[in-house]
A and B are shown apart, each in its own frame.
Chain A
Amino acid sequence: MIKTNASLAEQISNISRRDFIRGFALTGLVLAVGIPGVSWAADEPKFGRDGMPNGWVDNPLVFVSIAEDGTVTIVAHRSEMGQGVRTSLPMVVADEMEADWSRVNVVQAYGDEQKFGNQNTDGSRSMRHFFMPMRNVGAAARMMLETAAAAIWGVPVSEVKAIFHEVHHEATGRILTYGEVAQAAAKLAVPARSDLVLKTVDAFRYIGKQSNKLIDGANIVEGKAEYGIDVRRDGMVYAVVAHPPAYGDTLTSYDDSDTLKVPGVLKTLTLASTPPPAVFNPLGGVVVVATNTWAAIKGREKLKIQWKSGPNAGYVTETFRKEMEKSATSQGGKILRSVGDVYKTLAETENKLQASYYIPHLAQAPMEPPVATAHYQDDFCELWSSIQNPQAGVDTVAHWLGFKPEQVKVNVTLLGGGFGRKSKPDYMVEAALVSKALGGKPVKLTWTREDDIQHSYFHTVSVEHLEAAFDDNRRATAWLHRTVAPSISSTFDASSMNQMPMEASMGVVNVPFDLPNIQLENPAAAPHTRIGWYRSVANIPHAFGVQSFIAEMAHHVGRDHKEFLIELIGKDRKIDPKTLRDEWNYGESPEDYPLNTGRMHAVIEHVTNKANWGKKMAANTGQGLATHYSFTSYVATVVEVAIVGDGEVTVPRIDIAIDCGPQVNPERIRSQIEGACVMGVSLALFSEISFTNGVADQNNFDGYEVARMNNGPMEIHVHIMPTTDYDAPLGGVGEPGMPPIAPALCNAIFAATGKRIRSLPVRYQLES
């Protein structure tokens, strides 16, 4: 059954179907999630929303209901974590159905992809994949309302028109409200997709319009919005888990005698450890159950636990970095793409350049840590959680409880941030197992910040090595890029040592550079912790290496960075991603989503113009440029830095331009890009996870620093490339703003100081 297989692929989220079939079908993952084998290898390739597990649904009866008082209720089936999807997708429905937004109520779907279509809120895909289905939903609802009103009046449907929550019969001036026709409309057959008449762009009320209204805004500012951590159930108890210190460590024994003396502690119990690969399985450990979270935390502090060291207990990041640097500077590894003869060109050229860049592990650290509430009953388990991927929650919990998916219900709350961490439902499994162990008591299981930062599904650690050769005209003739980083696939297959096509297609293979000699290599790298995905994923290290190196190349040959960058990208053209050995292309069709260098060129021109690129700068200040294509959107940024005091980097201004195709909710696009600038500055200047003996050295926001108001960018100017063609393919928004920030910032530091930063974060590197 396609559906069943699809929900298996859902488990691995960002990973494309093809990667999955090739890389994982025969591994333990199939058994780990308890779903039978894969049969869609022979299917025709499907792209975009068609290629996603459980595809898409555009049935208005699933998404829309209208009460007699006219209140329109629209189902939001994607998870809200700050990107505004609970506002933006229902707004599309409301617009097409001519509903008055002030009379729209949004309800969140529970996890059920057979009913709602794909719900895995990840990969900057929600609007890209569901703009059209939600337009269909709204248009069908509108047409059903019109048909019902026409029948009531006994007039041809062509004479009636839905206008702003009412149906009008212009000839007679008669009007029926949506509430009055709702019941009759709901009994009608849903129009065939081919019969739907969509609005023309000039008739849009909300799509593409400026609006600051957020569906959850009032609840948020009043403290009434309900996040996963806010869920309360009758008779509920509270739990925290002492997890094994290193990935793969296991519990030997523990003494809870002091724990049980803590007032409020009810009991302790154990969760079995699962050996790597982690997949979405719980890490295991000792659970403390109490009458409130604080008592559980206090009780956990009093546990005396003996752990048995596992395979990663010797992981020291500093040592591993040296190993990765050695691989990155030695010829070899898996060849990702080869054009001309780079090695020969390098050997025969005198004028050349090389550099290596280091990007550390990162933790997503959403402000709400992972948390889930579970209520196990004999043949059913209900959960409430902040989860990006509710179907994975259903499937993984069902597997662990020995249930069928229909015996598990996952209610999706608001997410207090996600950034990829909450795509992995390991914490939901913990809550379900604890509720079961307590004989069916509802339990809220909370990760403390220490749990979150020490046991994340970490962003990988990378070394990017680049080399280039130049001719006598100061033009590049050869490009070598070796990328070394443990792969996300290692979290699903412990033997995986190379980047997947998905990761390679995040800015290594799909560089459009117009050069006669290109060599792209991926030496092996072993995983030593749970490697996950973090907002914009492998684009972070790849863009940092590539966009820093291009600035270094321009400087090396004494040319303006912008001019050199545009020359490297080459003339405006549409490139078939397959010709770049981009086998992934963000899951999108190569025909609809070619790599369009004209759009890349345009965002560079636009942002440099807005930022007044090349303007005269004061001492210790500088501008830096970078561009990056990701999640099918084109972004370029100019970051301005000022170095103050003893080498402290401040960011007075960021200009950033994005071409994401048609824009549905420009205000939320703007806010997402602003947020990406701040998070980009966080990882550029402050954030790092390092390991000693398998244990993360950081455990809270003191060691794991992130941008704050006093050290983030002072001004952010977002420039959205205008479009009027709403038939054009949409691009992603949540992630593409991130990758170019760190390289642009470090290019600016070079402009300000002459010091080249090749290792993130910058932190104290400029101090004398």
Chain B
Amino acid sequence: MKLNINGKVHSVDLPMDTPILWTLRDELGMTGTKFGCGKALCGACTVMLDGTPIRSCSTPISFAENKVITTIEAISEQKVGQAVQQAWLDIAVPQCGYCQSGQIVSATALLRDNPKPSDQDIDNFMSGNICRCGTYNRIREAIKVAAKNLEATS
């Protein structure tokens, strides 16, 4: 089947129930999207499917037919994504960094649809993304910084 990933079409020959995650990582060598739990419990594997954040570990490639997958590797092509990445760097969010691909994709989706999220909005939206290093407070802060910067430049 054909998969549109970050604007580029890839042909893959895999069973249709293969999760998007392992297709990206093992088949296509796009390792920015991470494996964390395999059960849609931790959010490390978050990508966008037609703009909607999904857990790629539990979403088979059959769901991606005729849709566009956006991964961390291309999130900087979106204005919001770039602002989120910059805010992450400015306040040094990452510790080990492993979960941050998923965090950044989720945060980008949040800010795109809700440019001025409240703490409650952020907590609700981001609670599907686990960080064992405990960077939550900086993530919350970085989302607000990105929101402010986006507002200033819009």
Contact = CB atoms under 8 A, between A and B. Distances in A.
Q: Do A and B come from one complex?
A: yes
A446 B130 contact: no
Interface string A205-236: 00000001110111011111111011010000
A73 to B, nearest CB: 21
Interface string B64-102: 000000011101100000000100111110111111110
A87 to B, nearest CB: 10
A527 interface: no
Interface in B18-72: 18-19, 21-22, 25-27, 29, 31-39, 41-42, 44, 71-72
Interface string B139-154: 1100000000000000
Contacts of A671: 92, 95, 135, 138
Contact of A448 (B18, B29, B38, B90): B38
B132 interface: yes
A671 B138 CA distance: 9
B15 interface: yes
A359 interface: no
Contact of B98 (A367, A677, A708, A716): A367
Interface in A448-484: 448-450
A707 B135 CA distance: 11
B132 A367 contact: yes
A212 B93 CA distance: 9
Contact of B85 (A222, A365, A416, A419): A222
A449 B36 contact: yes
Interface in A667-723: 667, 671-672, 674-679, 700-702, 706-716
A715 B90 contact: no
Chain A facing B: main interface SS: loop
Contact of A677 (B22, B134, B139): B134
B96 A416 contact: yes
B124 interface: yes
B135 to A, nearest CB: 7
Nearest to B33: A223
Q: Most chain-A Cβ atoms within 10 A of its Cβ — which of B126, B129, B135?
A: B135
A230 B31 contact: yes
Nearest to B84: A221
A297 interface: yes
Nearest to A450: B38
Given A238-B26, A677-B134, A701-B37, A416 B92 contact: no
Interface of A: 80-84, 212-214, 216-218, 220-227, 229-230, 232, 238, 263-264, 291-294, 297, 365-369, 414-419, 446, 448-450, 667, 671-672, 674-679, 700-702, 706-716
21 contacts: A80-B96, A82-B96, A212-B89, A217-B89, A222-B76, A223-B33, A223-B72, A230-B31, A294-B22, A367-B132, A368-B36, A368-B98, A414-B96, A415-B96, A416-B34, A671-B138, A700-B38, A700-B39, A701-B130, A709-B136, A709-B139
Given A222-B76, A223-B33, A678-B137, 15 more contacts: A212-B92, A227-B98, A293-B22, A367-B36, A367-B132, A446-B35, A674-B135, A679-B134, A706-B130, A708-B127, A708-B130, A709-B136, A712-B136, A713-B137, A714-B137
